[in-house]
Amino acid sequence: ETGVTQTPRHLVMGMTNKKSLKCEQHLGHNAMYWYKQSAKKPLELMFVYSLEERVENNSVPSRFSPECPNSSHLFLHLHTLQPEDSALYLCASSQARTASYEQYFGPGTRLTVT
Amino acid sequence: AQSVAQPEDQVNVAEGNPLTVKCTYSVSGNPYLFWYVQYPNRGLQFLLKYITGDNLVKGSYGFEAEFNKSQTSFHLKKPSALVSDSALYFCAVVDNFNKFYFGSGTKLNVKP
């Protein structure tokens, strides 16, 4: 369970705040992912990084800005969020961005936008 | 549109009884299929996957899943449920372009 860590675990922020979510993987993987999990909805894949290059951006609003400085770290920078952005944000990694590899997930950051 | 369906929001089963959590998909080509489990306040954990070969796949904690190409289904099964199996289960499908599709999840309740 310590293969992928996320901080903070809980975050409450106002609509005008700027904050960042951090993800770190200790598995030597080359691909990392950000997901949004809302109740009773399918997991929404937000961003995919492969070898530190963003390879997928699924129509995510610009108020979410990802950053991948190296293969072990992934950030999600947040600014001027909306209440509907409140959700559990999950980070995941996989050995490579290849369909056959399973993903390893962190525990998530529970975000509340007030 | 490509999608994954988990038709049951919740499945209730008594401990010791067999369980089935259903998943059907509408994804073109020869997709790869996965099951993940999420315990409260935790991230998703990989259970099993189908890539190719035998249609019956065995995974962690005694779970198995059967791939049925004609019915485009990948139902999760376990012969004898445990109370500790109570959790949220997600089916995921990856197409030939490495595009991921997750279902909305099924909450499994196993009662003593």
- A103, A104, A109: best mutation site toward chain B, by most B Cβ within 10 Å? A103
Summarize pLDDT for A48-95 with one digit per residue, the tens: 998 888 887 778 999 999 999 999 999 999 999 999 999 999 999 999
Are A42 and B9 a contacting pair at CB < 8 A? no
Asked, as a colleague might, if the bond just before A8 is cis with ω within 30 of 0, I would say yes
DSSP for A34-80, please give it.
Answer: EEEE-TTSPPEEEEEEETTEEEEE-S--TTEEEEEEETTEEEEEEES
The answer on pLDDT for B87 being more than 60 is: yes
d(C-alpha A34, C-alpha A77), whole Å: 12
In chain A, which residues have their Cβ closer than 8 Å to the Cβ of B103? 42
Question: Averaged over B73-95, what is the pLDDT?
Answer: 96
d(C-alpha A2, C-alpha B43), whole Å: 11
pLDDT of residue A48: 92
Are A100 and B98 a contacting pair at CB < 8 A? no
In chain B, which residues have their Cβ closer than 8 Å to the Cβ of A53? none
* Closest among B26, B68, B76, B67 to B46, alpha carbons compared: B76
pLDDT of residue B34: 96
Are B104 and A104 a contacting pair at CB < 8 A? no
Minimal-distance CA residue of chain A relative to B103: A42
Helix (H, G, I), strand (E, B) or coil at A85: helix
d(C-alpha B80, C-alpha A9), whole Å: 34
Residues in chain A: 114
- B4, B25, B52, B100: best mutation site toward chain A, by most A Cβ within 10 Å? B100
pLDDT band at A1 (very low <50, low <70, confident <90, very high): low
d(C-alpha B11, C-alpha B58), whole Å: 21
pLDDT band at A12 (very low <50, low <70, confident <90, very high): very high
Range of lowest pLDDT (A22-26, A39-43, B29-33): A39-43
Contacting residues for A28 by C-beta, under 8 A, at least 6 apart: none
Half-sphere exposure of B62 (CA within 13 A, CB side): 11
